[in-house]
């Protein structure tokens, strides 16, 4: 069954199969906290799966966690998240709603904000909810357990987060909840809480996490290793071309409908060059968010500027500044790097140069025109206005 492709776990598979066969329009829930404005390729693994559910006749309940984002999901965290202001959350939530319909079918999607029920919840209801779980059970979670052993602080609000996520399932009457493999604890708690409220427990479906462009950490804006779906065609194409060959196969598996094993065999047999395979991957993914025409143009520009090494005064994108700038600030401001921390890392790794000379000083100033290169595939012609 195509809908089961790439799923990490189904709890329980028997309930899942029966639900898809017997219920007219199963309600599949997915929640996302708008902690950043960009939806990246890591998010699209689940969004693409949700679209498959829709094509199979399911209704997707997309919950924008504008209330829970004020706490922050503790899953997989070694410390508490920095709290966001209400205005930051609202601003990010608007972009989420716009971006999800690049993949989901609006006719089969119900978008809800969990502040619409949590802002009205009184203390008696909160006490009832918190009485259904214990601190001991909460500390069974690896992330909480490790922090507790290391004597790192755990806020009471962080204990509330999985309970609030579970309560979402009660409000929207979820038949299925889907999430990344790091969400298993929260999703299973949803089953338990639903049963405590006399509701039928939801089926839990988990999916793999996508590694970021560094090939190590999961894709995340906070790690500076993400590819946002609203980035330019050139940026998406170039970032995908920069990933390792091993990671390329993983991206084929999780981000396309292509048989990644066939791609692997073709490469191993010598029938397909890894660079050609990566180019096709970059084209496919760029096409999803910018269309085939822009993707083809991005491919041609990439080949001309990088593969054929035709970097010239005319080809290099021009970036104007009106006064000397720190190279870190310029890399971040020009979007050659999503964060300043990534810019620092790139400089420390010797991946940044000006006119062919590596930048070693983190406080280096760009005070004259020149060619700034970040890695092998990102560059700017710096000019002064």
What was the pLDDT predicted at 82?
A: 66
Confidence of residue 41 (pLDDT cuts 50, 70, 90): very high
Average pLDDT over residues 214-227: 82
What was the pLDDT predicted at 35?
A: 75
> Do residues 34 and 81 make contact, with C-beta atoms less than 8 angstroms apart?
no
Name the percent of the chain lying above pLDDT 70.
Answer: 91
**What tokens appear for 120 in the block?**
């009205």
What domains appear along the chain, each with residue ranges and CATH number?
A: 2-210 (3.40.50.620), 233-307 (no CATH), 318-384 (3.10.290.10)
Checking if the pLDDT of 255 tops 90, the result is yes
Average pLDDT over residues 204-225: 86
DSSP string over 20-36: HHH-SS-EEEEEE--SS
What was the pLDDT predicted at 79?
A: 56
The residue assigned the tokens 């929207």 is 172
CA pair distance 135, 372, nearest whole angstrom:
53
Average pLDDT over residues 205-230: 86
Confidence of residue 125 (pLDDT cuts 50, 70, 90): very high
- CA distances for 3 relative to 23, 49, 51, 262, 267, angstroms: 16, 7, 10, 20, 27
**What tokens appear for 145 in the block?**
């357990």
> Do residues 194 and 166 make contact, with C-beta atoms less than 8 angstroms apart?
yes
Confidence of residue 1 (pLDDT cuts 50, 70, 90): low
Return the DSSP state at 211: B
The count of other CB atoms within 10 Å of the CB of residue 381 is 18
Average pLDDT over residues 343-361: 85
DSSP string over 243-309: S-HHHHHHHHHHHSSS-HHHHHHHHHTTSS-HHHHHHHHHHHHHHHHHHHHHHHHHHHHHIIIIIS-
What was the pLDDT predicted at 313?
A: 46
Checking if the pLDDT of 263 tops 70, the result is yes
Q: In this structure, are strands 365-366 and 325-326 parallel, antiparallel, or unpaired?
A: antiparallel
Looking at every residue in the chain, the average pLDDT score rounds to 85
Confidence of residue 216 (pLDDT cuts 50, 70, 90): confident
Q: Angle at Cα 333 formed by Cα 329 and Cα 338, nearest 5°?
A: 100
Write out pLDDT tens, residues 307-340: 454 445 455 666 777 788 888 888 877 777 777 7
Checking if the pLDDT of 21 tops 80, the result is yes
pTM to 2 decimal places: 0.74
Write out pLDDT tens, residues 127-179: 999 998 888 888 887 777 888 788 888 888 888 888 999 999 999 999 999 99
Least confident of 146-160, 201-215, 271-285, 301-315: 301-315
**What tokens appear for 322 in the block?**
């009106």
What was the pLDDT predicted at 174?
A: 94
Write out pLDDT tens, residues 63-110: 998 888 877 666 555 455 566 677 777 888 788 888 899 899 999 999
Checking if the pLDDT of 256 tops 60, the result is yes
Least confident of 186-190, 220-224, 264-268, 314-318: 314-318
Q: Does residue 147 sit in helix, strand or coil?
A: helix
Alpha helical stretches, state H, the chain: 13-22, 41-55, 86-100, 115-118, 123-130, 135-138, 142-149, 156-172, 184-196, 233-241, 245-255, 260-268, 274-302, 327-333, 340-348
What was the pLDDT predicted at 73?
A: 63
The residue assigned the tokens 């998406």 is 236
CA pair distance 30, 54, nearest whole angstrom:
13
Least confident of 38-42, 86-90, 344-348: 86-90
> Do residues 166 and 17 make contact, with C-beta atoms less than 8 angstroms apart?
no
Residue from 16, 116, 13 nearest 64 by CA: 116
- CA distances for 179 relative to 56, 61, 75, 380, angstroms: 18, 13, 12, 39
The residue assigned the tokens 């990439």 is 302
């Amino acid at each position: 069954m195509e809908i089961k492709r790439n799923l990490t776990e189904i709890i329980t598979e028997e309930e899942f199969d029966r639900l898809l066969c017997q219920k007219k329009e199963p309600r599949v829930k997915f929640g996302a906290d708008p902690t950043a404005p960009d939806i990246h390729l890591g998010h699209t693994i689940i969004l693409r799966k949700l679209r498959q559910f829709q094509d199979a006749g399911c209704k997707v309940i997309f919950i924008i966690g504008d209330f829970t984002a004020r706490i922050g999901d503790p899953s997989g965290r070694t410390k508490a998240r920095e709290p966001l202001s209400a205005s930051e959350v609202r601003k990010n939530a608007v972009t989420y709603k716009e971006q999800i319909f690049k993949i989901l079918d609006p006719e089969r999607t119900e978008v809800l904000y969990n502040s619409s029920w949590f802002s009205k919840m009184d203390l008696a209801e909160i006490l009832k909810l918190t009485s259904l779980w214990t601190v001991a059970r909460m500390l069974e979670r690896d992330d909480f357990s490790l922090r507790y052993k290391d004597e790192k602080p755990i806020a009471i609000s962080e204990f509330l987060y999985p309970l609030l996520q579970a309560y979402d399932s009660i409000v929207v009457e979820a038949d299925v909840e889907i999430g990344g493999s790091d969400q298993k604890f929260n999703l299973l708690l949803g089953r338990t809480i639903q049963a405590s409220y006399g509701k039928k427990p939801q089926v839990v479906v988990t999916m793999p996490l996508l590694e970021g462009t560094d090939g190590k950490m999961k894709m995340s804006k906070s790690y500076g290793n993400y590819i946002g779906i609203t980035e330019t065609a050139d940026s998406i194409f170039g970032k995908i071309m920069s990933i390792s060959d091993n990671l390329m196969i993983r991206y084929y598996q999780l981000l396309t409908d292509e048989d990644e094993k066939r791609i692997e065999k073709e490469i191993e047999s010598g029938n397909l060059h890894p660079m050609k395979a990566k180019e096709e991957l970059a084209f496919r993914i760029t096409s999803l968010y910018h269309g085939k025409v822009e993707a083809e143009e991005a491919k041609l520009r990439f080949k001309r500027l990088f593969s054929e090494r035709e970097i010239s005064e005319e080809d290099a994108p021009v970036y104007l500044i009106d006064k000397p700038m720190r190279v870190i600030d310029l890399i971040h401001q020009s979007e050659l790097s999503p964060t300043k921390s990534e810019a620092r890392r790139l400089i420390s790794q010797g991946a940044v140069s000006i006119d062919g000379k590596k930048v070693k000083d983190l406080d280096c100033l760009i005070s004259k025109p020149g060619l700034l290169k970040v890695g092998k595939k990102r560059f700017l012609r710096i000019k002064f206005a």
